[in-house]
Chains A and B, each alone.
Chain A
Amino acid sequence: MSVKIEVIEGGIPHQKIMIGGLVGTLVCLYLTYLNVLTNTEMFAFFGGLAMIIALIWGSHTIKVLCSYGIGTGVPSAGMIAFGSGVIAMLLDTKFGMAAPIVATVLAAVIGFILGYISNNILNMKIPAMVQALTEMAIVGALSLMGFAALITGGFTFAGLTTGEVSMLGLSISSTANSFIGGALIAVAFLLGAIAIQHPFNATLGPGWKQDRMLMLTAECGFLSMIAAAFMSFALISMEAAIISLVIAIIGWAYTYNQYICLSKRDAAAWLDAKPIPDVEGH
């Protein structure tokens, strides 16, 4: 029925990106568990790295899916990724230590059923649909979990729903000052959903290059990580939040520079125009 228009030419095959993305995300998520072992919050930044690795995998999945003209625009793919991912992620936080593994399995089940619905009940008949929606639900769940680990230092339900408020020198427990209770999850949701759909939306076309798109994803991911690191000042210690922020800013500056270099490489011509031209003789 539908015709695949763009093929992946060169670059890393999708299977490798998928396996690398899944393993890398899970390893980084579990590295945040060092927080519990060492009783600090210094390792929260691994959550941000997990989120960026998941986004890189997810943006390539979007490329695979949207190469078949689905007729609804690229952003809808990012929206369904996080819409199904947030549901799996919130349930998985109840499983404590096993949460990332359970998140992967549950999100895969949700994504698989959604893929079946769109391919068979809605008659889309796109070969990559089921696999792509399965992957994207996992990406959504894991990157939200990465955001949670980055902002709160952990990914358990108790840690995400309770925070502490210092008032007049007294420290009291409060549910409003937490990742879920403070609705920070809604901000994380959109930071991730925009970062996952933007790269392919911005780079698609005949001049599409894999490395340029993935570099743009990393850049969007670090940009989201900067915003999330600012939010983490409210919930984790000052030092841990500063570590996350510095890593995010360094990563963003590096990937942004790289992206500009790659854009110059792929551009037909490049003119370094100044914002305001120097006007002489007036």
Chain B
Amino acid sequence: MSAVAAKPQAGGAINPTAMAVGVVMLLIILGLCWYVSPGAGLMALVGVIVGGVLIGFGTHFVPVGGAPAAMGQAPGIATGVAMLAAGAGLAGLFGGAWAAEQGLLVATITGGVGGGLMMAITCMMVNFVYVFGMGIPAASGKVLNDPITGDSQKEFKSQGTEGHGLPFVSFVGGVIGGFLGGAGGTIIYLELLGLYETTLPATMNMLPAQVMPIAVAAAGIFAVGLFLVNAVLTAYNITGTIEGPHDPKFKRWPRAIVASAVASALCGFMAILIVAI
């Protein structure tokens, strides 16, 4: 049988030793960054870590159904965690980059709205297809009543399935997840863009206007790379499907926070080294 269909039994347990090692690694990387580039570099790295953690945390809200959802046997959007997180985050990143000149706050919110909007449209169209195309109602398999509307779920759930469609709470979770992911991606992009704009002219002996394409493209591709790393690590944390914030798997988020922080710090440090050495 296909290996991909089989789900690993990676539990929700937290490994305290590994978490401690992760925090120590994070501090070591921050120290290295302070040593290499104490001012602008360290600030940029902190921004990158905040952005990465937002992506990692936000992805847990997104209702991911995977292959079972494509057959109407599990709630959520019928694709993988990495694809959904990347879709929402990149949509947000493009929105945020467009507003980059309006300042950090406006651009971050714009990025968040872009990501949230993308997820809202996706969730709505998914429910359209489920309800009008496949003829199945939205019902959660993990809770008896929808935590937001209080609607009863059990009567609408088909036997032998884990629920189907996108209940209201999953929809809201998707929009929140898209918002956090888009905002996180935008913060990473803006921090790196600001760093490159100020430091690249000196390192490359060029005018600020000349390095602009390099700064934008390098910050953009670093943001995409960081985004995918964080999204896939979160996917590994969730292992398969999640319904949204009411799913028991949501409680695994502390692991993802540490993992995203260390991974973002490591990758962000590399992105800062390119102008620091």
Contact = CB atoms under 8 A, between A and B. Distances in A.
Contacts of B27: none
A120 B25 CA distance: 13
Contact of B233 (A91, A117, A185): A117
B10 interface: yes
Contacts of A84: 225, 229, 267
B82 A181 contact: no
Contacts of B258: 121
A263 interface: no
Contact of B2 (A91, A125, A175, A205): A205
B277 interface: yes
B5 interface: yes
Contact of B237 (A122, A181, A189): A122
Interface in B223-277: 224-229, 231-233, 235-240, 255-256, 258-259, 262-263, 266-267, 270-271, 273-274, 277
A5 B3 contact: yes
Contacts of A206: 1-2
A118 B263 CA distance: 10
B78 to A, nearest CB: 11
Contacts of A120: 15, 17-18, 21
Contacts of B225: 82-87, 189
Contacts of A178: 213-214
Contacts of B206: 175
A108 B259 CA distance: 18
Q: How large is the interface on A (under 10, 10 to 19, 20 to 34, 35 or more residues)?
A: 35 or more
B86 A90 contact: no
B232 A72 contact: yes
A82 B228 contact: yes
Given A72-B235, A83-B224, A123-B11, A118 B66 contact: no
Contacts of B233: 80, 114, 117-118, 122
A82 B206 CA distance: 30
Contacts of B103: none
A123 B10 contact: yes
Contacts of B235: 72, 76
Interface residues of B, number: 66
A117 B262 contact: yes
Given A73-B80, A87-B271, A110-B266, A79 B18 contact: no
A2 interface: yes
Interface string A43-74: 00000000000000000000000111111111
B13 interface: yes
B6 A5 contact: yes
A144 to B, nearest CB: 10
B46 interface: no
Interface string B97-112: 0000000000000000
A180 B8 CA distance: 39
Contact of B86 (A4, A79, A116, A181): A79
Contacts of A77: 232
A183 B235 CA distance: 27
Nearest to A1: B9
B74 to A, nearest CB: 13
A113 interface: yes
15 contacts: A2-B10, A66-B4, A72-B81, A76-B83, A79-B82, A83-B227, A84-B267, A106-B270, A121-B262, A124-B239, A125-B10, A161-B214, A175-B214, A178-B214, A185-B221
